[in-house]
Amino acid sequence: MATSDRYNVFTGDAHFECDDGRILHYRFRNQGTLTAHDIGAGMKADEAARRIGGGGLAARIFVGLNVGKIEKWTKQDAIDVVVHVRKKQKALPDASIMSQTGLYTDSETGALIQEPSLQIIVLETSGKTKKVFLREMTELADALRKELEQQVVILELQLSGVVTDVYEVKPAKKRKRKKRGKAR
């Protein structure tokens, strides 16, 4: 075990929205000595932690619950979509789903919209390539977009905790077909 009493480290801000609309702000600062725990402190690594994946891939999907100004969908509706799509993909439906408040600017009116939303986090632990995982997460994001009647869903891809790509998932534009001349 390693300790240090020389540092009083700032460890972050937190903002909580209360049910009554108040927003509480907290700043966390370590008040004592910092302690680093070593896995080897009396136990073997495989007893303390079991590695479940090596790729470090993860996805975060941001999806709203309103249709227009009306709150139409619930967290359970999104959970149902996640489970259905992931099982269809023959993948475990494991995910973390967090409720939050989303803000976005309406592209047509320019109005700032506040709505209940979700953040869906999926960790890739089965060894899939980035290409396969991205395809699966795009399918999931698009299914959430369609089922929850959203214009756009945001998909963020991470590698080892670092955001590598951000995608806007929305309906594909219909391609105009070229007219062919009559066959002779």
Per-residue confidence (pLDDT) for residue 108, from 0 to 100: 85
Per-residue confidence (pLDDT) for residue 182, from 0 to 100: 61
Per-residue confidence (pLDDT) for residue 15, from 0 to 100: 58
Domain assignment present for residue 6? The answer is: yes
Per-residue confidence (pLDDT) for residue 81, from 0 to 100: 98
Number of domains in the chain: 2
Is residue 1 over pLDDT 90?
A: no
Domain assignment present for residue 51? The answer is: no
Are residue 35 and residue 96 in the same domain, yes or no? no
Per-residue pLDDT reduced to its tens digit, 118-151 = 999 999 988 899 999 999 999 999 999 999 999 9
Are residue 8 and residue 99 in the same domain, yes or no? no
Are residue 25 and residue 81 in the same domain, yes or no? no
Domain assignment present for residue 180? The answer is: no
Q: Which residues span the domain enclosing 38?
A: 2-44
Is residue 9 over pLDDT 50?
A: no
Q: Higher pLDDT residue, 88 or 36?
A: 88
Q: Which of 50-59, 117-126, 167-176 has the lowest mean pLDDT?
A: 50-59
Contact 100, 75 (CB under 8 A): no
Are residue 78 and residue 21 in the same domain, yes or no? no
Per-residue pLDDT reduced to its tens digit, 86-119 = 999 999 999 999 999 998 888 888 989 899 999 9
Domain assignment present for residue 183? The answer is: no
Are residue 40 and residue 62 in the same domain, yes or no? no
Are residue 37 and residue 62 in the same domain, yes or no? no
Model's pTM, two decimal places?
0.67
Average pLDDT over residues 5-16: 51
Are residue 97 and residue 20 in the same domain, yes or no? no
- Please state, in angstroms and rounded to a whole number, the distance separating the CA atoms of residues 72 and 63: 13
- Please state, in angstroms and rounded to a whole number, the distance separating the CA atoms of residues 31 and 29: 6
Are residue 28 and residue 74 in the same domain, yes or no? no
Tokens of 163: 């955001």
pLDDT band for 35, please (50, 70, 90 cuts). low
Per-residue confidence (pLDDT) for residue 178, from 0 to 100: 67
